[in-house]
Chains A and B, each alone.
Chain A
Amino acid sequence: MPFYKCLKCGKVWQYPLSECPFCFIKLEPLVSKQAKVVSASKVIIPTMRHAFVPYFSALIEDENNNKWVYKSIQELNQGDCLSYCSDSEAIAVWRIKYDYLEAIRKAIELIKGLELKENSKILILPSLFSATQAHVRENTSPEFLQAIIEYLLQNNIKIENIKIASQAFGEIPIEAMAERSGLLAVCLKNKIMPLDLNKTNFIKQDDLEISEEVIKADLVINLGINQAGRAKATENIFRILKKENYLGLKYLCSEKEIAQKLENKINNLINLSEADYLRDKEGYIYYLGIILAGKSFLKLDRVFNEIIMSREISDLIADISFEDISLVGRHIKEIQFNLIKI
C-alpha cells in the first residue's frame, strides 16, 4: 500500500496528493517493504461487492508504522506477514487505489518485471476504440497512459524511444478518437508524436501482416481497457495488423484463430489492462479498482471475465479454461465482483 509523506512536516496521506497543502512541496511516496497483520476479523456476511464469505479483513502495519486494511480469502492472524509470489508466465491481479503508477509498478513486479535497457525501443498501444470522452471508458484513460510513460521514464527509457500508436478499423478517423479521448493531449504533453499504424509498413509473417513498428520495437505494451462481455485487450492487439489483412482474415478464419496466431507470433509483448472503472455492454459504468498484467492477452481477458462473474463471455476467450491460468497478486475470490447484482 503506497503512502505519501511530506518530508518537511512529516504528514502522511494515503491519497496521492500533488503536494503538501501545508508546505507546498511534492510528497514522497513511501513503499512498504514489510507488512504485518495487527489484527483480523473473519467476515461472515456477504455484501454486494464481497460475494464470497467467509473472508478475512485485516489491519496491516508496515515498518514505517503506516496502517491500512487488507482483504484475504485465506485466514490471517496477528503477526502474519503479507507476501506475494511473482511469475513471469502468470496473470497479475492487483488493486488500483487512485495511483495508477503505483498499481502499474506492482502489477509489473508480480510478473517479474520488464526487460528494459537504456536504449530499449518501446511501442505503446493504447486502446482507442471510439471518439468518446475518457469517462465513457471505451478507450485507455489519459491517466493510465501517462502513468505507463512515467513508469518507463523512471526506468531510464528515453522519451525519444517511446512511441504511442494505434489504428482505426472503423469509419471514425483516428485523429478524432485520439483528440476526444484525451490521449492526444498526453502524447503532446510528453512530446511524443502519436503514430497511426495504418501509415506504417507492414511485414508479412505467414498469413499475418504485422506493422513494422511492432517488429522493430524491443517491447510492445498493449494497454487494454476491460469491458464486460468483451475481450478488449485481445481486440486491441488486432490493431497491429494491416486493416485489410485483418478484414480479409476474418473471412478465412475466426477472430479467435487470428488472436491465437498473434499470441504465438508476438514475443516482445506485455499486456497491461485497466479496470479501475468498468463499462458494461449497455454503457453503464461501475467502480472496480483493478489492474491486470501478463504476457498473454487472451488469458488476461479470460481472468477479467472471471473477476466480474459475467455470464456473457466473448467468443475470443470462451474456450480458455480459467482453472489452467496461473494467477499472482490478489486471490480471485478477494476481488470478484458480481456485476449482475449491482
Chain B
Amino acid sequence: MYIKGVGMTKFDYSTKPWWQFAFEASLEAFKDAQMTPADIDAIVFSSISSAAGGEHQSHKVSFLSDLFKTNVPIIEVPSVCGGGGVAFWTALHLQGFKNILVLASEKYADNKSETTVDWILSAAEKTIEQPEGMLFPVQNALIWQQYMAKYKATMDDLSLVAFKNHTNATLNPKAYFYKKPIDLEKIKNSPIVASPFRLMDCSLSVNGGAAVILSQEESDIKVIGSGFATDYLMTFGRQDLTHFKATQLAAKQAFGQAGLTPNDINVAEVHDAFTSVELISYEDLGFADFGQGAELIRSGKINLGGSLPINPSGGLKAKGHPISATGLAQIYEITNQLKGRAEKERQTNPLPKYGLTHNIGGAGGSVTVHIFEKNN
C-alpha cells in the first residue's frame, strides 16, 4: 500500500471537540492526497476518549459517517497510546478497499490533571497493579532502575533524550513546545515525579488529531514493512524486565518484510512516552546493541544533522502525546521527512530513503513498527 496524503492538527490544550481534531486532520490529508471523502472506501478510526469531563461520545464511527457524509465501513480500533499504529496496521490488512482513511483523535486533556491521569490509567492493569500505585511513570521508573543496574546507564542519559526532543520540537510548528526551548540544566533539575524519574522524563498529555490516506494506487511513499505484537498487561509478569519484547517482535516482522536492517533506516519516530522508553527502544529496534542505547544518545548520531535523526518532530515528549493520534502523527512526520517537506531546520539531509515509526500502547502491551520507502 502507498501513502497518498497525511494530515495533523497542532497538538495543544485547545478546547475543540474531539471530532474537530479528527476533521481538521482529515481535511489536510484529503487536500494532500487531492481527494475528497467520496474517494474513500473505508475508514479505520482510533480513539479512547472524546472528553474526560463527562461528554464522552461512544459510537464515534456513526458520527464520522455524518461528518464525511459517507456510508462506507468505518472500523474503530482503540489500543490506547498505540491506537494510531494499530489502526494503520489494521488498514494495511483490510482487503478489497482502494483508498482507506486512517484517522485518530483525542480530547482528554480537559479537566484537572488528576482526572486526566485517572483516565489514562485505564490503559494499565486496574485491579492488581494500579491499587498498588503503579502509575505509568512508576512502572517505567522501575523498569529503568533495572536497566540502570544492569547496563550502567545514568539519569543524565535520559536528560539528553529529553533535551534532543525538546530541541527538535522548538522547530516544529505543530508541536506543543514550538519555539519554547528548554535548556539541559532545567531538564536535569525538573521536579521528581516517581524516583528516579523527573517531570522532564515524562511525555506531554495533549489533545490532537492525525490522519493518513492509504491507497492501492501508487505514490512516492510505499509502506514496505508492518509489524504488530502484543505483550502482557502485567509488566512485571514478563520475562525481560529491561526491554520490550513486543517491540523486538514487531521490528523483526517489519524489517523482515522490508528486507532491510536497522542500519538502512535514515530517520525514525520512536515512541518516547518516557525518556527511558525511547532509549530502551533504540536497542529493541536494533539501532543499538543491548546496553548501548546510552552510548547512542551520547554520540549525537540521533540528533538533527546526525546519521539517524530520531524524533525530529519532538516526539511524544515535546510535540505532545494525544494517545491514539500519536501513531499516525509519527507517520505524518516520516512521510514529510521522506518527501523533503519538513521545515528546513528539521529536514533530514540528505533526503532520506527509508523511515521508521514505532508506536507503543501501554507499557509495551501493544506495539507496531512500520517502515516506509521513498520512491522517486
Please list the residues of chain A having a beta carbon within 8 angstroms of any beta carbon in chain B: 1, 12, 14, 38-50, 55-59, 67-71, 95, 97-98, 287, 289, 335, 341
Contact = CB atoms under 8 A, between A and B. Distances in A.
B142 A71 contact: no
A57 B194 contact: yes
B114 interface: yes
B367 to A, nearest CB: 21
Contacts of A56: 133
Task: Count chain B CB atoms within 10 A of each CB in A38, A67, A69, A98 and give the residue with the most.
Answer: A69
A111 to B, nearest CB: 21
A17 to B, nearest CB: 13
Given A41-B142, A47-B118, A57-B142, A69 B194 contact: no
Nearest to B148: A39
Interface string B264-275: 000000000000
B130 A49 contact: yes
Contacts of B128: 1, 14, 68-69, 97-98
Given A47-B135, A48-B115, A67-B237, A41 B127 contact: no
A56 B126 CA distance: 18
A192 B150 CA distance: 57
Contacts of A44: 191-195
Given A57-B132, A71-B132, A287-B126, A47 B114 contact: yes
B97 interface: no
Interface string B118-140: 10010000111111111101100
Contacts of B25: none
A45 B205 CA distance: 15
Nearest to B234: A14
B129 A46 contact: no
17 contacts: A14-B128, A41-B138, A42-B192, A42-B194, A43-B133, A43-B137, A43-B193, A48-B114, A49-B130, A50-B133, A56-B133, A57-B135, A57-B142, A58-B142, A68-B132, A71-B131, A97-B131
Contact of A67 (B132, B192, B236): B236
Contact of A47 (B117, B132, B142, B237): B117
Contacts of A289: 127, 131
Binding site secondary structure of chain A: strand
Contacts of B130: 49
Contacts of A67: 236-237, 241
B138 A39 contact: no
Contacts of B149: 39
Contact of B195 (A42, A59, A335): A42
A14 B234 CA distance: 9
B245 to A, nearest CB: 15
A41 B146 contact: no
B318 interface: no
B211 to A, nearest CB: 32
A41 B131 contact: no
Interface string B193-211: 1111100000000000000
A49 B128 CA distance: 14
A70 B132 contact: yes
A-B pairs, 4 with minimum CB distance: A57-B133, A71-B133, A71-B132, A67-B236
Contacts of B118: 47-49
A42 B149 CA distance: 17
B376 to A, nearest CB: 50
B27 interface: no
B276 interface: no
Nearest to B131: A289
B134 to A, nearest CB: 5
Given A39-B145, A69-B236, A45 B193 contact: yes
Contacts of A50: 133, 135
Contacts of A59: 142, 146, 236, 241
B362 to A, nearest CB: 15
